[in-house]
A and B are shown apart, each in its own frame.
Chain A
């Protein structure tokens, strides 16, 4: 910002020097004979231009006619021009009795204002003589910066160039500044309308920084663009009052913007400052009307002074703070504020304390610095936010990875635990198997041998049972859980040599059964034991010639039947050890065991629900 100002200032001073140079080569007319008409009274006098109406006729409106003489040593043949930095509010210009230009109505007070931009009038070669008279007739309204600046007359090229430079700053410059402020203002307001700060303590809020900046820029647009409006929609002085209010509103909003930038918005003093600014605004309306309506420019000067003092004190605080530990945004705004305060003081001096007539306000250009600072703040904020978002994403990614590895670790532990449990269960099952099967058979074989009463055949049978049990245990490990068909098929295969030896005809009625999900490895082993026990009984005790094994799926569940035509037994007699064990196992797997026995037909039924 300061770099920009550093570049702008030399340009300005260069321009001032150039104007002086041009004036040296051409004629600058400052001596005039004026007749001023106020309230019907006319006063004639010689005077030095510029003539600033408001300064000489406080609170009065009227007309003035200026006569300016100039002599030429030789009458120019090429076109000349007349450049008037400022005149108005309405005017007529005559040269040697010929009307050169008329703008506005000389009788319509408080009408259109043509004293806003510099004027250039081409002079046809035939109009100039060796002795010339330029007559300028103006109408001046109260407090409207009416009057007449010195006239510049000379060769058209030189004079027109000077006029263009002047016009560039006053007209085009104002247009550019107004357009820039409008764009910045609209952008700031749209930012205010669309952006909510969700992290603000309390509830999410729109950032007032954008609101104040937006309003300030819009008021500034209004104030600056006045330079381009010759026919205002409101009559003077109301239009003028509106301009002053706009200027005041700009200043107040800018101050509030600075409060936000400095982060003082929650400071207790900020409330009092806002109240003071509100009072200034009210005072602005009142004093502007008073000054312009009643022709008391002092009132306006006072108000400007109050605003200036406020801004000076606030600006001093702001700058002091910027010099000590402040954010970069704060410092950038401080630089813009410093430049604007200096420009404002200069303007206050030039326009209110030591009024000159044709000067232009400097602050209208430098206020654009605030727009630039706002741009900087916005960009910096977006950069911060996007950096935060990036950080957040990175942190999030890290945390997700961390969580994932944690999860994987806990899964691994869980799996180890589950595997351990499985192994424990498997071990327990095998131990029980060995205890109930092989172990019990071998111990009974030992008892049989020790007692000496058992026959060789009996001991052999016990040992065969033991080996068969061992084989079945091993098979059970590979049996798919719930596959009863496979279980029965395997049992048959294992017992095949015994069936072959016993001359029992085996009828196989096993359907292809869908696996029963509820039978786990343990339950399969129980079922295997039960069927083995039942078949062993038939083989050893039934003396049957036909054994039928059926397995079907019924509506009640899977039904397993073993039917033999043997001698049968008393089912009401105290249970044999084998039968007792079958009942227990049936209970353990939630199966129903039923037994019907009569000579010639014994049916053992296992129903698994």
Chain B
């Protein structure tokens, strides 16, 4: 049983998601709240444990991204999912970089919602061709700025003693998978083309999510250090 926390300010929508979670016998609903403050308070309670966070982005007292970051900080085992109206690339990418491992459309069918949560827990993260293309172009940009990036990493490593973990942002296979996704191929088609299992393809994507989040965090740390927001050493 995966324990689910829902953060959504729109009451009917919150009810709908709660109902969708409750329909699944593999999911249990921990709580459903409507603001960032409530979510923080809930997450800060050490008695609480959470496996899945389902959060909207536009909350009355802040952004769902804050909730995602807070959840990752307090409950590293928690896997956040973003509720997105359009699944548009800007919001989804920002969520992924904040630590989300997937997203759910607001207009999805109730079964699809539970299905998406379970898929994520079993290692599959959805990615749209648009997002794949964005990630690829960002990756190419990083590649072309490789010397700068290396300098950044070196500086960050010196300042924080933190290993950034990603020697290269994308492995060759991950890049191939992303390219095929951006061209519109489904996971099954990619698995067939690359003669791997669908699960492997899904794992690639989920890994990619984590990498993007880590990369974004190290970038943020670097930027903060550079701007003097964090103490050096």
Residues of A within 8 A of B (CB): 464, 467, 470-471, 474-475, 478-480, 485-486, 488-490, 492-493, 496-497, 508, 510, 512
Given A490-B184, A493-B130, 15 other A-B contacts at CB below 8 A?
A470-B86, A471-B88, A475-B88, A478-B90, A478-B130, A478-B134, A485-B184, A486-B133, A486-B182, A489-B181, A492-B184, A497-B108, A497-B112, A508-B189, A510-B183
Is there contact, CB below 8 Å, between B88 and A489?
no
Contacts of A492 in B (CB 8 A): 129, 184
Rounded to whole angstroms, the CA-CA distance of A471 and B89 in the bound complex is 11
Q: 9 tightest CB-CB pairs across the interface, nearest first?
A: A489-B184, A489-B129, A492-B184, A493-B128, A474-B88, A471-B86, A474-B86, A493-B129, A490-B129
Rounded to whole angstroms, the CA-CA distance of A510 and B181 in the bound complex is 12
Rounded to whole angstroms, the CA-CA distance of A91 and B89 in the bound complex is 121
Residue from the list B86, B89, B109, B183 in contact with A489, Cβ < 8 A? B183
Which partner residue on chain A sits nearest B87 by CB separation? Answer: A471
Is there contact, CB below 8 Å, between A493 and B184?
yes
B107 at the interface (CB under 8 A from A): yes
Contacts of A512 in B (CB 8 A): 183
Is there contact, CB below 8 Å, between A508 and B86?
no
Contacts of A489 in B (CB 8 A): 129-130, 181-184
Most chain A CB within 10 A, of B108, B112, B128, B134, is at B128
Most chain B CB within 10 A, of A471, A479, A493, A497, is at A493
Given A490-B128, A493-B128, A497-B112: A478 touches B186 (CB 8 Å cut-off) = no
How many A-B Cβ pairs are below 8 Å?
Answer: 52
Given A467-B107, A470-B86, A497-B112: A475 touches B184 (CB 8 Å cut-off) = no
Residue from the list B107, B130, B189 in contact with A475, Cβ < 8 A? B130
**Nearest Cβ in chain A — how far from B107, in angstroms?**
5
Contacts of B182 in A (CB 8 A): 485-486, 489
Which partner residue on chain B sits nearest A486 by CB separation? Answer: B133
**Nearest Cβ in chain B — how far from A521, in angstroms?**
15
Contacts of B185 in A (CB 8 A): 508
- What per-residue 1/0 map shows which CB atoms of B107-123 lie under 8 Å from chain A? 11100100000000000
Contacts of A490 in B (CB 8 A): 128-130, 184
Is there contact, CB below 8 Å, between B89 and A478?
yes
Chain B residues numbered 70-126 whose CB sits less than 8 Å from any CB in chain A: 86-90, 107-109, 112
Which partner residue on chain B sits nearest A475 by CB separation? Answer: B130
Given A478-B130, A490-B129: A485 touches B183 (CB 8 Å cut-off) = yes
Is there contact, CB below 8 Å, between B189 and A486?
no
Contacts of B129 in A (CB 8 A): 486, 489-490, 492-493
> Would you list 29 pairs from A and B whose C-beta atoms are within 8 A, ordered by A residue?
A464-B107, A470-B86, A471-B87, A474-B86, A474-B88, A475-B130, A478-B88, A478-B89, A478-B134, A479-B130, A480-B133, A485-B182, A486-B182, A488-B184, A489-B181, A489-B182, A490-B128, A490-B129, A490-B184, A492-B129, A492-B184, A493-B130, A493-B184, A496-B186, A497-B108, A497-B109, A508-B184, A508-B185, A508-B186
Contacts of B107 in A (CB 8 A): 464, 467
Residue from the list B87, B88, B112, B184 in contact with A510, Cβ < 8 A? B184
Contacts of A508 in B (CB 8 A): 184-186, 189
**Nearest Cβ in chain B — how far from A294, in angstroms?**
102
**Nearest Cβ in chain B — how far from A364, in angstroms?**
81
Rounded to whole angstroms, the CA-CA distance of A486 and B129 in the bound complex is 7
Contacts of A485 in B (CB 8 A): 182-184
Contacts of A464 in B (CB 8 A): 107
Rounded to whole angstroms, the CA-CA distance of A277 and B178 in the bound complex is 100
Contacts of B186 in A (CB 8 A): 496, 508
Rounded to whole angstroms, the CA-CA distance of A464 and B189 in the bound complex is 26
**Nearest Cβ in chain B — how far from A23, in angstroms?**
98
Most chain A CB within 10 A, of B88, B109, B133, is at B133
Most chain A CB within 10 A, of B90, B108, B183, is at B183
Which partner residue on chain B sits nearest A473 by CB separation? Answer: B86
**Nearest Cβ in chain A — how far from B102, in angstroms?**
14
Contacts of A496 in B (CB 8 A): 186
Which partner residue on chain A sits nearest B132 by CB separation? Answer: A489
**Nearest Cβ in chain A — how far from B10, in angstroms?**
16
Contacts of B134 in A (CB 8 A): 478
Rounded to whole angstroms, the CA-CA distance of A21 and B112 in the bound complex is 137
Rounded to whole angstroms, the CA-CA distance of A485 and B182 in the bound complex is 8
Rounded to whole angstroms, the CA-CA distance of A302 and B182 in the bound complex is 113
Which partner residue on chain B sits nearest A479 by CB separation? Answer: B130
Which partner residue on chain A sits nearest B129 by CB separation? Answer: A489
Contacts of A470 in B (CB 8 A): 86
Rounded to whole angstroms, the CA-CA distance of A475 and B92 in the bound complex is 12
Contacts of B184 in A (CB 8 A): 485, 488-490, 492-493, 508, 510
Which partner residue on chain B sits nearest A511 by CB separation? Answer: B183
Contacts of B181 in A (CB 8 A): 489
**Nearest Cβ in chain A — how far from B141, in angstroms?**
14
**Nearest Cβ in chain A — how far from B191, in angstroms?**
13
- What per-residue 1/0 map shows which CB atoms of B48-66 lie under 8 Å from chain A? 0000000000000000000
Which partner residue on chain A sits nearest B181 by CB separation? Answer: A489
**Nearest Cβ in chain A — how far from B130, in angstroms?**
5
Rounded to whole angstroms, the CA-CA distance of A475 and B90 in the bound complex is 10
**Nearest Cβ in chain B — how far from A475, in angstroms?**
6
Rounded to whole angstroms, the CA-CA distance of A480 and B182 in the bound complex is 12
Which partner residue on chain B sits nearest A507 by CB separation? Answer: B189
Contacts of B86 in A (CB 8 A): 470-471, 474
Rounded to whole angstroms, the CA-CA distance of A480 and B130 in the bound complex is 10
Which partner residue on chain A sits nearest B107 by CB separation? Answer: A467
Chain B residues numbered 164-218 whose CB sits less than 8 Å from any CB in chain A: 181-186, 189
Contacts of A497 in B (CB 8 A): 108-109, 112
Which partner residue on chain B sits nearest A478 by CB separation? Answer: B89
Contacts of B88 in A (CB 8 A): 471, 474-475, 478
Rounded to whole angstroms, the CA-CA distance of A479 and B182 in the bound complex is 12
Contacts of A486 in B (CB 8 A): 129-130, 133, 182
Rounded to whole angstroms, the CA-CA distance of A22 and B108 in the bound complex is 134
Contacts of B133 in A (CB 8 A): 480, 486
Rounded to whole angstroms, the CA-CA distance of A457 and B40 in the bound complex is 41
Contacts of A474 in B (CB 8 A): 86, 88
